[in-house]
Amino acid sequence: MRREPSRWPRALGTAVMGLLLAVLGTTAFSWWALGPLRLEPLIVLVVSAGYRLPLVLGFIVVMFLGYVADLISGGVMGLNVVIFTVVYVICQLARRKLDITSWPFQMLSVGVLTILDHLLTAGAVTLTVPSYVPPVNLPLLLLAQGLINAFTAPLFFGLNEALVGMLARFWPAERKVTP
């Protein structure tokens, strides 16, 4: 029977993978962009954190990922922090009621939450930047981005799980304190 890694290797692995994928998103993944559509692995990691990390520790990791995304994007500072937090809270609430271990459900949730992420982003930018006008084909772009993220989610879930598994092997076993 495979045991679930403890929370610390999972938190550290998710944060390190997020930092690595955020940097690669601006360099190595930029070749893949099709106009406004691009790979967005950070939303996959936020969903993963929402389903697999404890509330407070996951919140810290998601805030870190949002801050990194804000620094790299050069957009409105704090926007990704807020949006990633909203996505994280939705995942935390969903994990209390739903079985989140199946790949199809994880892919579906990444797709739906990507669409929510972009809707919140478009709304926030519309409110904060007076000259911004959302594109006419926004619904089509949202659907396409949701599908791209959903279909690439298993790759990024797998990479994150591999790093977490590697860290868990080297992480000291948790000791129970007896009174």
Q: What is the CATH number of the domain that holds 151?
A: 1.10.1760.20
Residue bearing the bigger pLDDT, 163 or 26: 163
Let me know if residue 175 belongs to a domain.
no
* Sign of the four-CA dihedral 150, 151, 154, 160: negative
pLDDT of 53-65, one tens digit each? 999 999 999 999 9
Let me know if residue 179 belongs to a domain.
no
Let me know if residue 12 belongs to a domain.
yes
* pLDDT score for 173: 66
Neighbours of 156 (CB within 10 A): 23
The closest of 46, 56, 121 to 91, measured between CA atoms, is 46
Let me know if residue 163 belongs to a domain.
yes
Number of domains forming the structure of the chain = 1
Residue bearing the bigger pLDDT, 130 or 179: 130
Confidence (pTM): 0.87
Percent of the chain with pLDDT over 70: 92
* pLDDT score for 2: 52
Distance CA 53, CA 162 (A): 16
The closest of 50, 61, 73, 48 to 124, measured between CA atoms, is 73
pLDDT above 50 for 1: no
Distance CA 159, CA 163 (A): 6
Q: In which domain, by residue range, is 131 found?
A: 7-170
Residues 138-152 have a mean pLDDT of: 93
